[in-house]
Structure 1
Amino acid sequence: MKKPYKVLATALLAGTTFASTITPVFAEDPSDLVDPATDSVKEPVSDELPPIDTGRGVTRFTDVPPKTELAYAVQFLDENGIAKGYTKGYQTVFGVNDPIKRVDFAVILGTYMAIDTNVPKAGFRDLPTRAVGIVSALKARGITSGKTATSFGAADNITRGEVVVMLYNAFKDYFDDSTTFKNPFTDATDRYAEPVRVLHGAGIIKGINSTKFGTNDKITRGQFAMLMYRIFEQERKLRNEEKSGFVAFGDSNTSGSYFESQYKTYINKKWTDQVATVYGNGMDYTFYNKGNSGDETEEGLLRFKEDVLDAKPEYVTIMFGINDALLKPNGEPQVSKEEFKQNLTYMLEQLSVRGIKVVLMTNTPVVDKTYYDLELKNGRTVAPLYANKGGLRSWINSYNDVIRKVAEDRYVPLVDVNNILVAKAGGATDTALIKSGLLDDVTGIHMTPKANDIVAEAVKQALSKQ
């Protein structure tokens, strides 16, 4: 069964100003903001300009009281080009009591996340051009959905319940999901229940009273500003948490589970053990070795928070891809390259938010014949599946190319296991790899102790430069 995709979350580094990294064109378009009717309930707007900002918590907007939580929130969004105000008469206001449209909230959220908009268009016909990329990316990553297959409901005012669901989908791994937190609100049920429970427990949201959240009420621009600022404050907390030790996250070439049957005398000298002697801070192998045989990235994401994020390590290595690339009988990969890229990116962004040092790793080269023969013994003829992909080794290396590109784009150190071992073997052929003794003769995929030692040194060297 297809595993649910965990959404891509923010890549921003908490505690920093990132205006230079966010293009203002992604922020709200003031022309889309409709001045509310004159009979709407609003806070009085001062005739005087706010005082000159000599510190924090003072904005350029006349409807934002200085030195309040609202002022800090609005100043944060305004200074970083995430959300803008508009002109009302002769004054510049943020519109703190105005509602906000679904499209504007989506653009603000996607801008804050610096979300990658290089995805297929979502197909919503009611989006302004400026929002197509961001809304499509949010939909692709499970953060939001439309009213129908072709309508996002762009011009509709977004509700408090809709906002909480989107924030939960985007940032849920930031928070403790312990069941000790209860949902006290009688109107937050069904799809709203869990998002409200978790975000209320984390102090991100509040109800309109002790028993009612106001799920179907319109959220104001001032309220959403404070929610986004609280998300930012949570990122700052995560970044400042004390961290120690090392976690290796991946599949069987990380777990080394096959050592028990194939290389028993080397059982405590796997590459993860060797790295942990330097970076493991004295932790037991069950702490630092979080490889799981057979896992692809979607299965990895299901345990990522518990195995990696909650462990609060100082260093992390990530090595996935072989199982993602393996083809199913219908010729489709276990995980597509686009999903693989998104999954890796999500992991890296979660680690970046926390200030955890990370190294990406490519996968081993593969001895095609050894793997095909193993599958044949098990009653599966797989060689034809890979014939038009240049063979299994070439196909897996195309997933390595995804890893290389993600590492390059995100400025993450890379240990290119594939290229290192191919260079040591003197070529990327079955003959050269078999002769090298770097890959096992059972699967043609797993590292031998010889390769294991080479990789251990490469990882230690990469971590030493962090």
Structure 2
Amino acid sequence: MSRSKTIVAFGDSLTFGYGVKEENKWTNILAKSLGCRVINSGVCGNTSSEGLVRIEEDVLKYKPDYVIINFGMNDHFIKTDGSKEAKVSLEQFEENIEKIIFLTKQINAVPVLVTPNKIIEGNIGDENCGGGATYYYRRHPYYLYKNIGGANAQLKKYCSKIVELGLKHCIATLDINKLCESKSLYSIIINLTNSNEDDGVHINELGAKFYSENIYKTLKNLL
């Protein structure tokens, strides 16, 4: 790819590279592999709704050639307010991603969809983040997910929607979530074994390499 090309990686903490040294973030590895500029516009904790609020300042103003869209991890969380609703409903998520796609195409940039990785759900404990609950269920109570197949099943709905939108709009789509099915999550996700951290969501340096290698393949196919 030409050094004059610009890519914006647009998403949440998985894009930002939470917990990974700057030089080992997948965006920086990708920039070196492709030999072009990759702007990291990932913001920790962001949903697709929050991404839309900042898309002009963090994406469009750069007039990129490609925009990697990587939301869903924060959208899928089920709220603890008793509503049993996701932080961003699946319907709203679909609307948000389609708007991001539209705005990307409007500036003649090529959108590329990337699903979030699977998570380490962990021990359920007392089903309410206590009693020895670990990883995802240490922060998100299991009782909210027990009747829908668990947290990964909830996340999968959002990943499936991303894949569906890719097909609908004829957009290159990388299903990282599906690729995780053939990987050991304990090797690519920050956890007590490899980082002494009870995380279970964010990718480590091996995970960043996993992301960059597969995104590289996807982008190379577009050239």
What range describes the TM-score normalised by the shorter chain of this pair? 0.7 to 0.9
* 2:203 corresponding residue in structure 1: 447
Matched, 1:293 2:44: yes
Matched, 1:419 2:178: yes
| Structure 1 residues 340 and 323, CA gap change in structure 2 (3 angstroms) | same
**Cα deviation per residue 1:283-310 (whole Å; 9 max; x = unaligned)?**
6xxxx00000110011111101111111
Map 1:35-46 → 2, pairs under 5 A? none
Tell me, in whole angstroms, the C-alpha distance in 2 between the residues paired with 1:282 and 1:409.
29
Map 1:12-411 → 2, pairs under 5 A? 244-259=5-20, 266-279=21-34, 281-282=36-37, 288-329=39-80, 330=82, 331-369=84-122, 373-374=134-135, 382-411=141-170
**Cα deviation per residue 1:215-250 (whole Å; 9 max; x = unaligned)?**
xxxxxxxxxxxxxxxxxxxxxxxxxxxx84111000
Q: How many matched pairs?
A: 203
Unmatched 5+ residue regions in structure 1?
A: 1-242, 260-265, 426-432
Unmatched 5+ residue regions in structure 2?
A: 124-128, 192-197
RMSD: 2.0
CA offset at residue 282 of structure 1? Answer: 4.6
**Cα deviation per residue 1:107-141 (whole Å; 9 max; x = unaligned)?**
xxxxxxxxxxxxxxxxxxxxxxxxxxxxxxxxxxx
**Cα deviation per residue 1:196-221 (whole Å; 9 max; x = unaligned)?**
xxxxxxxxxxxxxxxxxxxxxxxxxx
CA offset at residue 375 of structure 1? Answer: 6.5
Tell me, in whole angstroms, the C-alpha distance in 1 between the residues paired with 2:151 and 2:137.
14
CA offset at residue 281 of structure 1? Answer: 3.4
Tell me, in whole angstroms, the C-alpha distance in 2 between the residues paired with 1:367 and 1:245.
33
Tell me, in whole angstroms, the C-alpha distance in 2 between the residues paired with 1:268 and 1:274.
7
Question: TM-score, normalized by length of structure 2?
Answer: 0.84
CA contact (8 A) 2:120 2:135 kept: no
> Per chain length, whose mean CA-contact separation is higher, i.e. which structure has more relative contact order (CA < 8 Å, sep 6+)?
2
Secondary structure, in 3 states, of the residue corresponding to 1:257?
Answer: coil
CA offset at residue 381 of structure 1? Answer: 6.1
Tell me, in whole angstroms, the C-alpha distance in 1 between the residues paired with 2:140 and 2:180.
27
* 2:218 corresponding residue in structure 1: 462
Tell me, in whole angstroms, the C-alpha distance in 2 between the residues paired with 1:313 and 1:279.
15
* 2:194 corresponding residue in structure 1: none
Secondary structure, in 3 states, of the residue corresponding to 1:303?
Answer: helix
* 1:438 corresponding residue in structure 2: 188
CA offset at residue 374 of structure 1? Answer: 4.6
Larger radius of gyration: 1
Tell me, in whole angstroms, the C-alpha distance in 1 between the residues paired with 2:118 and 2:136.
17
Tell me, in whole angstroms, the C-alpha distance in 1 between the residues paired with 2:17 and 2:35.
17
* 1:157 corresponding residue in structure 2: none
Question: TM-score, normalized by length of structure 1?
Answer: 0.41
Tell me, in whole angstroms, the C-alpha distance in 2 between the residues paired with 1:335 and 1:412.
23
